[in-house]
Amino acid sequence: MLHKQSITPEDYREAMSRFAGHVHVVTAEFDGVKRGMTATACCSVSDAPPTVLVCINRTNPRNETFFNAGSFAINTLAIDHVPVANAFSGFADMTDEERFSVGAWDTITTGAPTLADARAVFDCRVLELKPMSTHMVVFGQVVGLRLGEHRPALIYLDRKYRDL
């Protein structure tokens, strides 16, 4: 059993790997450049008006697309979306263009790429960007919504995909 008062980033990541999270692909487009990434750090903030947040690593220069676009989409994945999650996870050596060739993509309201068969899609206009250490907390008002079929959810726990 590990007990620490001085917490390293590695210790923190190990502890967070034990925290189950629904897998999403967060997407944006700015100046013709599409960007997408997997995320489990997404959650509801309010239902009136409908508002969500996502935490995005701001040390990656490619993520500037998210901070400049003014909109983004949270695409909630099902267990059969493992190939999509793998493409957007950053572990595969794929360009953003190659990533978007996995799955069927369209748009709803803002122009952010949306996964056509996602369990749910939250299409958002950015309300606020809040820097927090290595990440940017991006708050968005949901202005477009699509509810897909009920299928087992794709969960990430113990550094593995699982279904629920």
* Residue matched to tokens 């809040």: 130
Segment 84-114, tens digit of pLDDT:
999 999 888 899 999 999 999 999 999 999 9
Domain ranges of the chain: 22-163
Q: Show Cβ contacts of residue 142 under 8 Å, excluding neighbours closer than 6 positions.
A: 49, 50, 51, 52, 122, 123, 124
Query: What average pLDDT does the chain have?
Result: 95
pLDDT band at 4 (very low <50, low <70, confident <90, very high): low
Q: What pLDDT is recorded for position 37?
A: 97
pLDDT band at 1 (very low <50, low <70, confident <90, very high): low
Residue 81 has pLDDT above 90, yes or no: yes
Residue 134 has pLDDT above 80, yes or no: yes
Query: b/e map of 5-25 (b: 16 or more CB within 10 Å)?
Result: eeeeeeeeeeeeeeeebbbbb
* Residue 101, SS3 per DSSP: coil
Residue 132 has pLDDT above 80, yes or no: yes
The one-letter amino acid code at 80 reads D
The one-letter amino acid code at 118 reads A
Segment 51-74, tens digit of pLDDT:
999 999 999 999 999 999 999 999
pTM of the model: 0.94
CATH code, residues 22-163: 2.30.110.10
Structure tokens at 23: 């897998």
For residues 12 and 129, the model is more confident at 129
CA distance 164 to 155: 7
Closest CA to 107 of 72, 81, 83, 141: 72
